[in-house]
Homo-oligomer: A and B are copies of this chain.
Amino acid sequence: MRSVAIIGIGQTIINEQWGRSLRQIAAEATLAALKDAGCESADGLFVGNMMSGTVNNQNNLGPLVADWAGLKGTGAVKVEAACASGAAAFRSGLIAVASGDLESALVVGVEKMTDMTSHDVTAALATASDADYEVDMGVSFVGLNALIMRRYMHEYGWKHADFAPFTINAHANALHNPFARLNHKITLEDFEKAVMIASPINLLDASPIGDGAAAIYIVPAESVHAKTRILVTGSSSATDTIAIHDRPDALFLTAAYKSAQEAYQQAGVGPNDIDLFELHDAFTIMSSLSLEACGFCERGQGPRLGLDGEIVPTGRVPIATRGGLKARGHPVGATGIYQLVEVVQQLRGDAGDTQVPGACIGMAQNIGGSGATIITHILKRE
């Protein structure tokens, strides 16, 4: 397969965009990526989205977005893997370009999910879980994560406040990201007194939903003659059981381990080589589990990285450098593309006040369901 380079990125602000339609948001990000790439069209379009059929009464996003973004006629599909839809769409586009099937591809992640009641959004998010054996039993998506977090705290002896650094770091970084949904600082006291959602997960353990879109333009690396290039050096997808009760060990993200290991192998690197890691911090517990499964610390020691100050942009394992899901926001099907866009910003040296010094290799990991679908990408500047 050919090596693939990212030559364009685009994103919209994440918030409640009641005055704009799904296609408008998607097109804004798509056109921004086209402009950034200096191109006017693409050979193929891949749309990452989770819940447009339910929330927006709209499937068939391929032609919808292609048409609205001026790419009429282009082969276009939607790829869905719950909250990992963005990375799944990117991986589809990547393989199409790497294979020689396409000479260029646009990948856009989009979600417009604030047009309905929070009760309905909670139901829509629960479709990432096992409808028959989890959701029908009455557990919500946050409830599932709460069960995992409670068990994790019991098993490894952490208290709730030990997870605060994940949130504090995310909010501190989002302050410098003009596209982020939340832009206020969080203190340890704020974290501890936030309203409870599903014990032990409170409001500041959880990421906010939102409307937003992000897009990436990719081409064969051989066609890029710039002095520096951003290459995709690792890409891997793995799955686990969709229901958590079917896993022998609910505190280890097997699919994260598998996909990270494969991506490391492809890229010829290991955790120590990763300059920043945009992980899937939908809940603080997920940050811990991702860091552990990807080899950044021992099992059960994720919170230690935060407490030791290693996750900030100047630390050993910078995460959520542009705010992460927690503060940049989590428009579910778009999140995987936001993560990759942010890694590109870091590798280009365009991350401003939250720039990771000398960032050369970045990783992004997108999770669908409570660890059911996990997709890892590694990007490198050379």
Interfacial residues, chain A to chain B (CB-CB below 8 A): 1, 21, 23, 44, 50-54, 56-64, 66-67, 72-82, 88, 91-92, 95-96, 98-101, 123-124, 126-132, 135, 236-242, 246, 254-255, 258-259, 368-369, 372-373, 375
Known A1-B100, A79-B77, A92-B92: A373·B60 in contact at CB below 8 Å = yes
Q: Are the CB atoms of B238 and A73 closer together than 8 Å?
A: yes
Most buried by B among A63, A123, A132, A375: A63
> How many copies of the polypeptide does the oligomer hold?
2
A66 to chain B: closest residue by CB: B239
A-B contact pairs, 13 of them (CB 8 A): A51-B53, A62-B372, A63-B239, A63-B241, A63-B369, A67-B239, A75-B237, A76-B373, A77-B80, A77-B92, A92-B92, A95-B96, A99-B99
Contacts of A254 in B (CB 8 A): 73
| Complex-state Cα separation, A67 to B243, whole angstroms | 10
A241 to chain B: closest residue by CB: B67
- Interface of A: prevailing SS: mixed
Q: Are the CB atoms of A131 and B56 closer together than 8 Å?
A: yes
Contacts A1-B99, A58-B130, A77-B92 known; list 12 others, CB within 8 Å.
Answer: A57-B131, A60-B81, A60-B372, A60-B373, A61-B80, A62-B373, A73-B254, A73-B258, A75-B237, A75-B259, A75-B375, A95-B101
Q: Are the CB atoms of A237 and B99 closer together than 8 Å?
A: no
Known A62-B81, A81-B60, A82-B59: A239·B127 in contact at CB below 8 Å = no
